[in-house]
Amino acid sequence: MPQQLEGTVAIITGAGSGIGRHMSLAFAAEGARVAVCDIAEDRARETAQMIAQAGGDALAIGMDVTDEAAVNDGVDQTVARWGRLDTMVANAGIQIVHPVEDFPYEEFRKVVDIHLHGSFLLTKASVRHMYPQKSGSLIYMGSVHSHEPSPLKSAYVAAKHAILGLARVMAREGGPHGVRSNIICPGFVRTPLVEKQIPEQARDLNISEQDVVEKIMLGRTVDHEFTTLQDVSDVAVFLAGFRSNALTGQSIVPSHGWYMA
Ligand code: NAD
């Protein structure tokens, strides 16, 4: 079977763990050359090694997505290495939960900075290369929380709604340059980011950890199932490999029916 991303070049942030690591491996398996970026450079290197061991081509980059110079440098390194940039995946993220009245401003700002400002900086650096090429695919990592609120997650929900707006603006701005823009909005996936929340939410909501999983995380799915890393990677590969620019400005929601767009 032909590889879906043969000959393309991708840059993926937050690629040292969870969804970003899985997507990086999936992109490489489909023939993409992948710049794997993470603030934890050692974990970015591990992902790059996993790709190399599987016969793929990867470049590990230590990058804090809130540092404009580091983002510009990472994107430039990617283009210097492979001569082009086809896909950007703005995936780096964190989660901090508190009720608003107890939310330290510093922590609120940190969540918005990494998700929203990080996505903006990566977009700005990427389109500088994509516009002259007259092609490219911008992929944002949203969440069901780009569409639905949850208590305790004011910073995360606000940032994820804002990224949906950014993705839509980039469909309009990128369109005339041949660049498309879409956002993936998964339901809960069992990654370190989610595992950390289970005891935190149990404490803040005064319920058991089992209730956090069954009622809060899966309660509104149609089948009480978690979304998987594979589900998210499949959507990302599909968006990166889509043959035309017909699919732009869209939010795709792999969430077992939690949110129906
Ligand atoms: P994760 O914690 O497993 O991975 C996140 C990665 O981002 C880590 O490797 C971390 O080092 C990196 N990172 C954090 N701050 C960074 C920064 N400033 N610069 C660069 N890298 C940074 O989490 P995950 O679950 O894989 O989440 C990845 C993305 O998917 C996030 O945007 C998250 O909001 C989104 N998401 C996750 C879920 C889920 O249920 N896990 C659901 C919907 C959306």
Nearest one of 192, 42, 49, 142 to 28, comparing CA atoms: 49
Predicted pLDDT at 204 = 87
Instruction: State yes or no: is 131 an active-site residue.
Output: no
Q: Residue 136: is its pLDDT beyond 90? A: yes
pLDDT of 1: 74
| Stretch among 74-83, 194-203, 235-244 having the lowest mean pLDDT | 194-203
Ligand 1 contacts (CB < 6 A) are 13-14, 16-20, 38-40, 43, 63-66, 91-94, 114, 141, 143, 186, 188-189, 191-194
Residue 244 and residue 28: Cα distance in Å, rounded?
21
Residue range 189-199, pLDDT digits in tens: 999 989 999 99
Residues 224-243: what's their mean pLDDT?
98
In this predicted structure, what is the pLDDT of residue 50?
Answer: 98
What are the extents of the domains in the chain? Answer: 9-187+227-246, 188-226
Residue 258: is its pLDDT beyond 80?
yes
pLDDT of 2 reads 80
Superfamily of domain 9-187+227-246: NAD(P)-binding Rossmann-like Domain (3.40.50.720)
Question: Measuring CA to CA, which residue among 88, 212, 241 is closest to residue 150?
Answer: 212
Residue 22, Cβ density class (10 Å: 0-12 exposed, 13-18 middle, ≥19 buried) = buried
pLDDT of residue 108: 98
Q: What is the pLDDT of residues 159-183, one digit of tens each?
A: 999 999 999 999 999 999 999 999 9
Q: What is the pLDDT of residue 240?
A: 98
Using the atom order of ligand 1, give the atom closest to the CA of residue 160. Answer: 34
Sequential DSSP letters for 87-121: EEEE---------GGG--HHHHHHHHIIIIIHHHH
Query: 62 φ, ψ to 5°?
Result: -80, 120
d(Cα 181, Cα 157) in Å, to the nearest integer? Answer: 20
Global pTM value: 0.98
Average pLDDT of 5-10? 98
